[in-house]
């Protein structure tokens, strides 16, 4: 509809290779739409020319805005920060590498106009991503479904449209290490999906090395499931029962030289103990983070949010 404003939030980390093409594609897309749009780029501490390229575009287009982080705080916090600066009646979050095609946005808007407050993109196919990435992602979503207290849809990333009402609620969550797609499920509202074909990255490399993927997965699980904590209790049965059996065996056979059995039990116990400590550590880390109560990110500068009188662009 004509008077609707749609905000698009794009987290950017070292995307100099493709950011210009992303900007051009989006501006071209916006030209053809009847809704008004604002593009909010969140620079997550890029060390390349990304910021310079965005600033150049910002000077020519009133609807381009930039939020700069003082360092790399991560994809999820870049999204969270971007949401705070949106003014739109609806907000779309998408990658800055054109992996999420803008052509899907009108389908999302259609569902939104039908009354859905959250419309997420469901990836039917993923091009140009390694087998390892697709496999681990698939495993993660299925494991998450088993563990989590929320019913997060399978195979969805952060590409989605959210109504202002949902954004308002989402911004009330103050987790230090947010798992945004989980938070979106958690807040509820009327949710639906549109299916799309996830494109190959336009240029450059993925900015999600294994270490960041692992962090995302752990943040997701520890923020929405207490089950791993309960596993500790279940696992502790193993050494306990083994202990009882070995004691029983020793008494029954009258033989107390069970070095082999002893070592096995010791190893098992040690392994389980370490695992338990690891799980506790993950939660403890989250608790500490929360107790520290640091600001979750620091915005060093914003540009393009002031009233400009060049007229509103489409
Ligand atoms: N990104 C970010 N901070 C980071 C890592 C990534 O803002 O620490 C951005 C990145 O520029 C991209 C989006 O988040 O726009 C998703 O990252 P990427 O495309 O590398 O992930 P993939 O699509 O490979 O899962
Ligand atoms: Mg991407």
Residue 244 and residue 116 in one domain? no
User: Per the domain annotation, does 214 fall within a domain?
Assistant: no
Residue 242 and residue 156 in one domain? no
pLDDT exceeds 70 at position 101: yes
What is residue 260's predicted lDDT score, i.e. its pLDDT? 59
Residue 199 and residue 246 in one domain? no
Residue 32 and residue 84 in one domain? yes
Q: Domain range for residue 67?
A: 5-209+296-303
User: Domain total for the chain?
Assistant: 2
Atom of ligand 1 nearest to the CA of 79: 7
Residue 176 and residue 230 in one domain? no
Distance spanning both ends of the chain, measured CA to CA: 13
- Helix, strand, coil content of the chain in percent (nearest 5): 50, 20, 35
pLDDT exceeds 80 at position 262: no
Q: Which ligand is nearest to the CA of 46?
A: 1
Confidence of residue 281 (pLDDT cuts 50, 70, 90): confident
Residue range 55-89, pLDDT digits in tens: 999 999 999 999 999 999 999 999 999 999 999 99
Q: What is the pTM of this model?
A: 0.85
Share of the chain above pLDDT 70, in %: 93
| Radius of gyration of the CA atoms of the chain, in A | 24
Residue 149 and residue 270 in one domain? no
Atom of ligand 1 nearest to the CA of 205: 20
Confidence of residue 258 (pLDDT cuts 50, 70, 90): low
Atom of ligand 1 nearest to the CA of 97: 15
User: Per the domain annotation, does 313 fall within a domain?
Assistant: no
Residue 42 and residue 155 in one domain? yes
Confidence of residue 163 (pLDDT cuts 50, 70, 90): very high
What is residue 251's predicted lDDT score, i.e. its pLDDT? 77
Residue 73 and residue 183 in one domain? yes
- Separation of 137 CA from ligand 2 center, angstroms? 13
Residues 96 and 125: their CA atoms lie apart, in Å, by: 19
Residue 254 and residue 165 in one domain? no
Is the CB of 78 inside a 6 Å radius of any atom of ligand 1? yes
Q: Which of 80-94, 122-136, 183-197, 300-314 has the lowest mean pLDDT?
A: 300-314
């Amino acid at each position: 509809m004509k008077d609707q404003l749609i905000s698009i939030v794009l987290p950017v980390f070292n995307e100099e290779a493709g950011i210009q093409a992303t900007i051009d594609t989006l501006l071209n897309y916006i030209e053809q739409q009847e809704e008004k749009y604002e593009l909010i780029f969140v620079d997550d501490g890029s060390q390349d020319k990304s910021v310079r390229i965005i600033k150049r575009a910002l000077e020519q287009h009133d609807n381009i805005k930039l939020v700069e982080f003082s360092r790399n705080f991560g994809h999820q916090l870049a999204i969270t920060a971007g949401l705070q600066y949106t003014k739109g009646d609806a907000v779309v979050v998408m990658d800055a590498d054109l992996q999420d095609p803008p052509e899907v946005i009108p389908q999302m808007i259609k569902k939104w106009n039908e009354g859905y407050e959250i419309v997420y993109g469901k990836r039917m196919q993923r091009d140009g991503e390694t087998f390892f990435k697709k496999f681990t992602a698939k495993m993660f979503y299925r494991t998450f479904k088993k563990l989590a207290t929320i019913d997060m849809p399978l195979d969805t990333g952060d590409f989605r449209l959210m109504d202002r009402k949902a954004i308002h609620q989402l911004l009330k969550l103050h987790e230090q290490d947010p798992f945004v797609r989980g938070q979106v499920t958690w807040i509820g509202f009327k949710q639906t999906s549109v299916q799309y074909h996830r494109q190959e990255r336009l240029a450059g490399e993925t900015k999600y090395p294994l270490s960041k993927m692992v962090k995302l997965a752990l943040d997701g699980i520890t923020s929405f499931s207490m089950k791993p904590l309960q596993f500790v209790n279940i696992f502790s049965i193993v050494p306990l029962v083994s202990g009882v059996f070995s004691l029983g065996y020793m008494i029954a056979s009258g033989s107390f030289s069970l070095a082999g059995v002893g070592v096995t039990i010791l190893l098992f116990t040690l392994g389980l103990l370490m695992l338990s400590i690891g799980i506790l550590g993950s939660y403890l880390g989250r608790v500490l983070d929360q107790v520290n109560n640091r600001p979750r990110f620091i915005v060093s500068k914003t540009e393009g949010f002031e009233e400009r009188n060049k007229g509103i662009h489409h």
